Amino acid sequence: GAVVSQHPSRVICKSGTSVKIECRSLDFQATTMFWYRQFPKQSLMLMATSNEGSKATYEQGVEKDKFLINHASLTLSTLTVTSAHPEDSSFYICSARDPWAGGEQYFGPGTRLTVT
Amino acid sequence: LAKTTQPISMDSYEGQEVNITCSHNNIATNDYITWYQQFPSQGPRFIIQGYKTKVTNEVASLFIPADRKSSTLSLPRVSLSDTAVYYCLVGDADRGGSYIPTFGRGTSLIVHP
């Protein structure tokens, strides 16, 4: 089946620095990818929809200048957490939709971000 | 987007059948019902998807009544490794749709020895 990868799997950074997380669809092309954030013992919260070749669509309450999303190709979307703070520490998950597999969504393994 | 309601938690024992029901009263005509499983610190994993009646695969069955306002995920003979959170999602998953997977609270299933 289709696979979505994320890199890195976990990252620790200092407060004030920026961190980039990559999401790749390995064997299919995805015009749309989604970014989620998940805090401990909570559900996945959609942050934004990443559209290849155009600007991302952010959910209400998500700062687009803080969470930069770039979808430069049909297989890669990146999420950059700028000027990270401890409250940004979370589990970030991306997903991609394979339009030729009945629209099934495939989720990445997630990235654990810890801001110290 | 159709809102879903699931029990927050369930307990079971190894070898038993587990049925998790999801309510989605305002499901739209084009909406599919999809269930995911999530282990701690991992991304959700697709379990099964259906539109109506019954769907079965190698890991689960999905029962959808005629009015489609609810669905039941059935896990036969669960094992300890089935302990996870299960999410029910509803949306237009057609290849031409603008489906945005939106997660509710999910059901935390704990399987006891």
DSSP of chain A: ---EEEE-SEEEE-TT--EEEEEEESSS--SEEEEEEE-TTS--EEEEEEETTS--EEPTT--TTTEEEEEEETTEEEEEE-S--GGG-EEEEEEEE-TTTTT-EEE---EEEEE-
- DSSP states of B40-75 as a string? TTS--EEEEEESSEEEE-SS-EEEE-TT-SEEEEEE
As averages over each run of 10 residues, the pLDDT of chain A (116 residues) reads 90 97 92 93 93 88 94 92 97 88 82 97
Q: Which of A105, A74, A79, A98 is nearest to A90 (CA)?
A: A79
Query: B100 at the A interface (CB within 8 A)?
Result: yes
Residue of B nearest to A44 (CA): B103
Say what the pLDDT of residue A51 is. 85
Q: What is the mean pLDDT of chain B?
A: 91
Q: Which residue has the tokens 């689960």?
A: B60
Say what the pLDDT of residue A27 is. 87
Q: Which residue has the tokens 């959700």?
A: B44
pLDDT tops 60 at residue B74: yes
| Average pLDDT, integer, range B40-65 | 95
Query: Can you tell me the distance from the alpha carbon of A100 to that of A25, in angstroms, rounded to the nearest whole number?
Result: 13
**How many C-alpha atoms does B8 have within 13 Å on its Cβ side?**
2
Question: Mapping DSSP to helix (H, G, I), strand (E, B) and coil, where does residue B78 land?
Answer: coil
B95 confidence band (pLDDT: 50, 70, 90): very low
User: Which string of b and e fits B23-46 if b means at least 16 CB within 10 Å?
Assistant: ebeebeeebbbbbbbbeeeebbeb
- Report CB contact under 8 Å: A49, B95: no
Q: Which helix (H) or strand (E) holds B88?
A: strand B84-91
| Average pLDDT, integer, range B21-42 | 93
Query: Can you tell me the distance from the alpha carbon of A103 to that of A97, in angstroms, rounded to the nearest whole number?
Result: 6
Q: Which of B45, B86, B99 to mutate to test the interface with A (most CBs of A within 10 A)?
A: B99
Q: Which positions in chain B touch A36 (Cβ < 8 Å)?
A: 103
Enter the tokens of residue A105.
């969504």
Q: Sign of dihedral through CA atoms A28, B98, A61, B24?
A: negative
Distance of CA B21 to the CA centre of its chain: 8
- Report CB contact under 8 Å: A103, B93: yes
Say what the pLDDT of residue A53 is. 82
Say what the pLDDT of residue B94 is. 56
| Average pLDDT, integer, range B30-58 | 94
β-strand partners of A73? A76
Q: Which of A37, A45, A47, A97 to mutate to test the interface with B (most CBs of B within 10 A)?
A: A97
Query: B36 at the A interface (CB within 8 A)?
Result: yes
